[in-house]
């Protein structure tokens, strides 16, 4: 496997891990893509971007997430 293919596989694996960590493994693919497209439209300097990033940072700190996204929802409050 070439280095580029290996890097691409690693990126896909990591992105899949985010879906698992968020508890979205059973979500419809179109729903996920729609959500990603909405997120892509958020300006990096906006307060919404900062708010979502803070939620994500908190989720990474809580490494024992059980896939239910309960702690992520609590962090959003």
Q: Please state, rounded to an integer, the average pLDDT across all residues of the chain.
A: 85
Distance CA 49, CA 24 (A): 20
- pLDDT for 76 equals 46
pLDDT digits (tens, 9 = 90+) for 33-59: 999 999 999 999 999 999 999 999 998
DSSP state of 24: -
- pLDDT for 1 equals 74
Instruction: Supply the pTM of this predicted model.
Output: 0.69
Query: For residues 62 and 43, which has the higher predicted lDDT (pLDDT)?
Result: 43
Residue 71 has pLDDT above 80, yes or no: no
Distance CA 36, CA 53 (A): 14
- pLDDT for 38 equals 97
């Amino acid at each position: 496997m070439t280095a580029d293919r290996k890097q691409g596989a690693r990126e896909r694996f990591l992105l899949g891990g985010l879906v698992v960590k968020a508890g979205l493994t059973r979500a419809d693919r179109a729903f996920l893509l729609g959500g990603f497209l909405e997120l892509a439209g958020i300006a990096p300097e906006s307060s919404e971007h900062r708010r979502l990033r803070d939620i994500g940072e908190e989720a990474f700190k809580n490494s024992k997430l059980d896939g239910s996204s309960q702690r992520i929802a609590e962090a959003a409050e």
